[in-house]
């Protein structure tokens, strides 16, 4: 069992809320109860201001700052999020007043004493309605609710549609979801005025960027800001952002000189931590009679929420990278619209955009296959990019590095066929497929710059060996529970031929490692791991040079069998251990021939391109035709993540992601009413899958190694989420094909299925 799992299974983890400090203060917020309203007056009673437990009250008048965006593209409306609302609120849950108190429990009561006078305004929560001429405008200075428009085109789409034998036209709606990690967000900020040093403890996915933003917004040298990340109870993208609460905690500590703590409650989490998905898709797909996809037209409306977050319009920009998925669609015209509404801002959540685009493509393929009288698997065979076509350039300009797409489909089809059968009275059983690609290892600083991202994509690693021969790796990679650090230890151990337990990984502290891009985009292993392996190669070369000096032999004659046996090729008895080498090096007992004493090597890895993972999911479902209830019985996932570095870790990631994807397919949806009130404000309303709903899984692999990193590996963290909703939707449509049930909305709701079944039965009876 992995060391991290032993630690957490024994309850030995230290999460943010476990941290206690002397003279701790507590931060809380008055949040907007309205989706759209003018802020007329903030009334803070004197008994609150003068309460001995209250140390600071902050409003937008005092702290009139907006969070920056590091993804800035031409034509984008810069609707950045204010730290505290000033004259207007634009979503339920937006922070308006911050209060700092020395008693955590009194804080809750004191917040309720603060009165805010609002004038409610008309709200708009639907992205399509936000485009209407008479829709309320969220940001008057722009005169529109369209934050960004992009058109992606290639080939001759009009000719393709003219020559088509079949054109399918669909409208899909993909519901809003929340990344409900087991640990909500939190931050502790402490400014030590004697050392002139601001330290943040945060459950963030991106400590180095948090350090940069905090320093920049509060006018501090970045060298005087330190971010430490304790154990983190999951993120899924929800902690891959800079939030107002983090900066306000820093501001309060700077003013008060005491540690300030804020920990999110679950209601806050569902209202004020980023959401994602929430798309409306209009798509036309042109087919030849033999099932070849000739072209595609689409209009995709992204619900951006009320503001752009730290990465700006990233979902829209990512869509252009994967708009044709793993399919050979040469003629396309796609309009992408990012639209402001009076809802919590959206931001990439595990499998961002790729989940919705996969749903759009694979639902269209199944609908087209049925209308052509073909097997949906055969249509996929016809259109998947073949192995000899790589590297493959899509119409949008993405370069897919490698892939075994057809092999993955064939494996998934074969495996799921073993479980089909045994339909019970009153139920219908169906099988559905989805094939997809994932952008992984999002690095390549030059690529990020070309996309408008003001962030370095490289990763850093440093390896030290102490006098005892123990290896320590300093990495900028952030661990969230995904097991990346254990896998990096495994890679370094393999390179240095030592047991993994002799490798110590240090992460999550900006004062120790130089830089880390953050834990997102399935990039940690293939970038951070590559940097660590390159550093390990350097230190291995150093070991061999020092061994050659000690053993008085040429470096090319030194055989590195393992860390306990390093010997001369023609004289095996003349050997030495790493521990002996380390001690001699630290004490300078040997002529190092130009090498300085000490034992440390550093590497930076900046990939030349993106590694595109691939997956095929097959879903087996049953539907109760009397109630519409859906049971996901089995999910088969055949994954291509290049070289599989750690099979156990890959399978754990895959199963967790599949379960999340299943939840979005049939359970999860963040809902607002027409006035912008959050309807799903608790976990009694926002349903996530439990062990009782989890299906059986079969995980298999195909391996097409990439050349964009020295590991040959691709990312794995998000793929199961990406394909599961589409595969399950296709399986439900297949199960209810005799009733002509239309599956055009995620999540799939039993009542919608039952209504259509009853309507079809009534039509049949009438006939």
Tens of pLDDT along 697-753?
999 999 999 999 999 999 998 989 999 999 999 999 999 999 999 999 999 999 999
448-485 per-position pLDDT tens digit: 777 777 788 899 999 999 998 999 999 999 998 888 99
pLDDT of amino acid 531: 97
CATH of domain 16-121+184-232+239-272: 3.90.1170.50
**CATH 3.40.190.10 describes domain 276-443+608-766:** no
Query: 185 and 191 in contact (C-beta within 8 Å)?
Result: no
Query: 611 and 623 in contact (C-beta within 8 Å)?
Result: no
Q: Which residues pair with 430 in a beta bridge?
A: 621
Quickly list DSSP for 355-380.
HHHHHHHHHHHHHHHHHHT--HHHHH
pLDDT of amino acid 1: 39
User: Distance between CA 332 and CA 712 in Å, rounded?
Assistant: 31
pLDDT of amino acid 592: 66
Q: Which of 278, 330, 271 is nearest to 300 (CA)?
A: 278
The stretches in the chain having pLDDT less than 50 are 1
Query: 662 and 728 in contact (C-beta within 8 Å)?
Result: yes
Every domain of the chain with CATH number 3.30.365.10 lies at 276-443+608-766, 458-605
Which H helix or E strand runs over 417? helix 405-417
Q: Is the peptide bond before 747 cis (omega within 30 degrees of 0)?
A: yes
Q: Is 475 exposed, middle or buried (0-12, 13-18, 19+ CB in 10 A)?
A: buried
Every domain of the chain with CATH number 3.90.1170.50 lies at 16-121+184-232+239-272
pLDDT of amino acid 456: 82
Pairing of the two strands 276-287 and 571-576: unpaired
User: Distance between CA 521 and CA 538 in Å, rounded?
Assistant: 28
Quickly list DSSP for 484-498.
HHHHHHHHHHHHHTS
User: Distance between CA 435 and CA 505 in Å, rounded?
Assistant: 36
The set of long-range contacts for 16-19, using a CB threshold of 8 Å and a minimum separation of 24, is 16/183, 16/186, 16/187, 16/188, 16/201, 16/202, 16/203, 16/230, 16/263, 17/186, 17/263, 18/230, 19/188, 19/201, 19/230, 19/261
User: Distance between CA 44 and CA 58 in Å, rounded?
Assistant: 11
Q: Could you tell me the pTM of the whole model? A: 0.96
pLDDT of amino acid 10: 87
User: Distance between CA 558 and CA 373 in Å, rounded?
Assistant: 67
User: Distance between CA 649 and CA 80 in Å, rounded?
Assistant: 37
CATH of domain 458-605: 3.30.365.10
pLDDT of amino acid 2: 53
């Amino acid at each position: 069992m992995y060391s991290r799992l032993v630690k957490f299974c024994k309850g030995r983890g230290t999460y943010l809320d476990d941290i206690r400090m002397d003279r701790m203060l507590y931060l809380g917020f008055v949040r907007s109860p309205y989706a759209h309203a003018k802020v007329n007056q903030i009334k803070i009673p004197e008994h609150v201001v003068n309460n001995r437990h209250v140390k600071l009250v902050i409003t937008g008048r005092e702290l009139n700052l907006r969070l920056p965006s590091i993804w800035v593209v031409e034509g984008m409306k810069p609707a950045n999020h204010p730290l505290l609302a000033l004259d207007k609120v634009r979503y339920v849950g937006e922070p308006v007043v911050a209060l700092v108190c020395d008693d955590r429990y009194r804080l809750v009561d004191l917040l309720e004493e603060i009165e805010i006078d609002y004038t409610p305004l008309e709200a708009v929560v639907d992205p399509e309605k936000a485009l209407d001429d008479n829709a309320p405008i969220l940001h008057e200075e722009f005169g529109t609710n369209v934050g960004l428009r992009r058109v992606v085109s290639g080939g001759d789409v009009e000719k393709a549609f003219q020559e088509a034998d079949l054109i399918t036209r669909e409208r899909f709606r993909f519901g809003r979801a929340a990344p409900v990690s087991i640990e909500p967000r939190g931050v502790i900020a402490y400014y030590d005025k004697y050392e002139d040093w601001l330290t943040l403890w945060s459950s963030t996915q991106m400590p180095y960027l948090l350090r940069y933003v905090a320093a920049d917004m509060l006018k501090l040298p970045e060298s005087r800001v330190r971010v430490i990340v304790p154990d983190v109870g999951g993120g899924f993208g929800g902690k891959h952002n800079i939030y107002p609460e983090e900066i306000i905690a820093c501001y309060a500590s700077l003013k008060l000189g005491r540690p300030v703590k804020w920990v999110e409650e679950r209601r806050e989490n569902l209202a004020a931590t980023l959401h994602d998905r929430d798309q409306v898709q209009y798509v036309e797909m042109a087919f030849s009679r033999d099932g070849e996809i000739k072209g595609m037209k689409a209009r995709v409306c992204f619900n951006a929420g009320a503001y752009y977050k730290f990465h700006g319009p990233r979902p829209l920009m990512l869509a252009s990278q994967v708009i044709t998925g793993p399919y050979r669609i040469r003629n396309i015209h796609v309009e992408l619209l990012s639209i402001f509404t009076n809802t919590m801002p959206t931001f990439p959540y595990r499998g961002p955009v790729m989940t919705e685009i996969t749903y759009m493509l694979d639902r269209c393929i199944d609908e087209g296959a049925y209308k052509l009288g073909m097997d949906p698997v055969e249509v996929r065979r016809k259109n998947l990019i073949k192995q000899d076509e790589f590297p493959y350039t899509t119409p949008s300009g993405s370069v897919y590095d490698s892939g075994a797409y057809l092999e993955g489909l064939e494996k998934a089809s074969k495996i799921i066929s073993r479980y089909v059968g045994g339909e019970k009275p009153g139920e219908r059983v169906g099988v559905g497929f989805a094939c997809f690609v994932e952008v992984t290892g999002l690095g390549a600083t030059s690529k990020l710059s070309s996309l408008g991202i003001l962030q370095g994509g490289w990763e850093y690693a440093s390896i030290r060996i102490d006098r005892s021969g123990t290896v320590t790796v300093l990495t900028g990679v952030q661990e969230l529970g995904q097991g990346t650090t254990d896998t990096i230890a495994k890679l370094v151990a393999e390179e240095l031929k030592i047991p993994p337990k002799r490798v110590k990984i240090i992460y999550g502290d900006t004062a120790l490692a130089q830089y880390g891009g953050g834990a997102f985009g399935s990039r940690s292993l293939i970038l951070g791991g590559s940097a660590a392996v390159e550093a390990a190669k350097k230190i291995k070369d150093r070991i061999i040079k020092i061994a050659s000096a000690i053993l008085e032999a040429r470096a090319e004659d030194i055989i590195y069998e393992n860390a306990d046996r390093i010997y001369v090729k023609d004289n095996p008895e003349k050997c030495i251990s790493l521990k002996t080498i380390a001690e001699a090096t630290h004490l300078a007992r040997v002529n190092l021939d130009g090498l300085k004493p000490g034992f440390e090597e550093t590497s930076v890895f900046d990939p030349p391109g993106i590694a595109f993972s691939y997956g095929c999911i097959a879903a087996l479902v049953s539907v109760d035709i009397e109630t519409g209830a859906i049971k996901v019985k089995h999910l088969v996932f055949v994954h291509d993540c290049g070289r599989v570095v750690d099979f156990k870790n890959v399978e754990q990631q895959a199963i967790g992601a599949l379960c999340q994807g299943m939840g979005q397919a049939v359970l999860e949806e963040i809902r607002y009413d027409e006035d912008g009130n959050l309807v799903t404000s608790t976990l009694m309303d926002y349903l996530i899958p439990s062990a009782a709903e989890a299906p059986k899984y079969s995980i298999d692999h195909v391996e097409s190694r990439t050349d964009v990193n020295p590991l040959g590996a691709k990312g794995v963290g998000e793929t199961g989420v990406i394909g599961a909703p589409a595969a399950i939707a296709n399986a439900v449509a297949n199960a209810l094909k005799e009733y002509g049930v239309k599956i055009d909305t995620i999540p799939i709701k039993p009542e919608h299925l039952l209504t259509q079944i009853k309507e079809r039965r009534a039509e049949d009876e009438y006939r």
